[in-house]
């Protein structure tokens, strides 16, 4: 039932929504995809640096770190960022570009929730994503399933962050974060997108916004649920 979304550049299409575009970015607009990877263990000639600065999205209930895809050669730099931001879990929603063993050694659980670029998240991904968010921040018991690495159950939930990345950190990953904000913080689609774009310029294109506007909340956090505003 997942709706197909245009597989176009988020940076280009972000300018198509003037009513919620124009907010500043703490990342200085450096959200381009600098991956240049060949895949896990495949070797990369790219410099060992972070492609674009990870973006922290925090509310009173939730905390997410949106990233572009690490490579094996710079994974240690992303782990430093994760430790700085109390990350307990990394959700990978794109093809693998690094091995997960280093994350396990760092005490971070890796969850595979890949889905096709240019598409909305399928139901199995949504179910696992919402279960993970509920477990980490709301004290649920879902756990998200199929994560590798140690359980972060002993870590105080007030000091937990879930990192999530796609390739450039502008499409699939921000969409999942927006859904979590709608489900658990009772935001509507535009509020969630505005919050994310204010911190990560170019995130979520017009087609993805349309998908979020039509998204039906299922968790009904706090007994209210979310209202989607159609623009």
Active-site residue, from 63, 82, 166, 217: 166
CA distances from 76 to 6, 39, 49, 100, 117 (A): 33, 16, 10, 12, 26
Active-site residue, from 86, 117, 127, 228: 117
List the beta strands (DSSP E) in the chain.
55-58, 63-67, 87-92, 109-112, 147-148, 161-165
Is 217 designated active site?
A: no
DSSP 109-177: EEEE----TTBPPPHHHHHHHHHHHHHHHH--S---SSEES---TTS-GGG-EEEEE-SSSSSHHHHHH
Is 226 designated active site?
A: no
Tell me the catalytic residues: 117, 166
């Amino acid at each position: 039932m997942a709706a197909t979304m245009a597989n176009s550049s988020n940076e280009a299409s972000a300018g198509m929504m003037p009513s919620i575009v124009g907010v500043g970015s703490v990342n200085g607009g450096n959200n381009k995809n600098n991956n240049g990877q060949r895949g896990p263990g495949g070797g990369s000639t790219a410099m060992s640096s972070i492609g674009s600065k990870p973006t922290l999205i925090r509310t009173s209930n939730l905390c997410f770190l949106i990233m572009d895809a690490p490579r094996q050669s710079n994974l240690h730099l992303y782990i430093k960022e994760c430790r700085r931001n109390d990350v307990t879990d990394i959700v990978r929603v794109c093809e693998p570009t690094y091995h997960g063993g280093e994350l396990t050694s760092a005490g971070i659980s890796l969850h595979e929730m890949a889905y096709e670029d240019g598409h909305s998240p399928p139901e199995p991904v949504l179910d696992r994503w919402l279960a993970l968010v509920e477990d980490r921040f709301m004290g649920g018991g879902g756990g998200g399933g199929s994560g590798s690495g140690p359980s972060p159950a002993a870590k105080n939930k007030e000091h937990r962050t879930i990192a999530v990345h796609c390739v450039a950190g502008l499409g699939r990953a921000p969409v999942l974060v927006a859904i979590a904000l709608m489900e658990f913080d009772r935001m509507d689609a535009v509020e969630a997108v505005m919050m994310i774009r204010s911190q990560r310029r170019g995130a979520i294109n017009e087609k993805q916004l349309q998908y979020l506007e039509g998204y039906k909340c299922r968790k009904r956090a706090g007994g209210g649920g979310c209202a989607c505003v159609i623009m």
